[in-house]
Amino acid sequence: MGRDKAALLLTGRTLLARAVELVREAGGEPLVVGPVSVQALVPGCRRVDEAEGPGRSQRAGPLPALRHGLATCGTRKALALACDLPFLPAALLRFLIDEADRYDAVVPRTAGHLQVLAAAYTTACVGAIDRQLDAGERATHRFLEGVSLRVIEERELMPFGGAEIFFNVNRPEDLARAEARIAGKRA
């Protein structure tokens, strides 16, 4: 995109504000983990500077941010939600969090890819994340091998709208398609 996606407007609201509203709709208390410039986009919710986490180098990526969020959220389970997934329903988020009562991590899989930034995690994941970071590995999904994992397969996503709900806004044309889709047009 050439700029921070969190600040992009979709139907008059930033992608980040939409994600915060979705977490609230699902019954959660949003905690925004990101740079101070992004945090200013959502006044009125808890925010943590992503650079403050242990072992963080500046803008080190989603895995250290996930670890920092889990360590500071103040609850046993939390939802990681990227702001660039505008079509996830609140019902799916509630389902993921409910499933985390029995697993350390609950992660949807679509088209063979784990959706690690639209998943539920418990604080039991922190040790596995730390081991991975200590080994110099930053891939967001690798630590899942060391925790109790529940993968939500595509067939289980059908009641929530199927794999299409994981439409990701990565390019300007994706943003235009999302606008058209919300407006009820086919794009």
**Average of pLDDT values for 47-58?**
53
Q: Directed axis angle between helix 15-25 and helix 90-99, to 10°?
A: 60
Q: What is the residue type of 122?
A: T
In this predicted structure, what is the pLDDT of residue 25? 94
Q: Cα(152)–Cα(110) distance, rounded to whole angstroms?
A: 9
SS (H, E, C) 51-96: HHCCCCCCCCCHHHHHHHHHHHCCCCEEEEECCCCCCCCHHHHHHH
Q: What is the reported pTM?
A: 0.87
- Does residue 86 register a pLDDT over 90? yes
List, for residues 16-33, the tens digit of each pLDDT value: 999 999 999 999 988 887
Q: For the chain, what percent of residues have pLDDT higher than 70?
A: 83
List, for residues 156-175, the tens digit of each pLDDT value: 999 999 999 999 998 989 99
- Does residue 39 register a pLDDT over 60? no
In this predicted structure, what is the pLDDT of residue 163? 94
List, for residues 93-126, the tens digit of each pLDDT value: 999 999 999 999 999 999 999 999 999 999 999 9
Q: What is the residue type of 174?
A: D
Decide which of 102 and 187 is more confident. Answer: 102
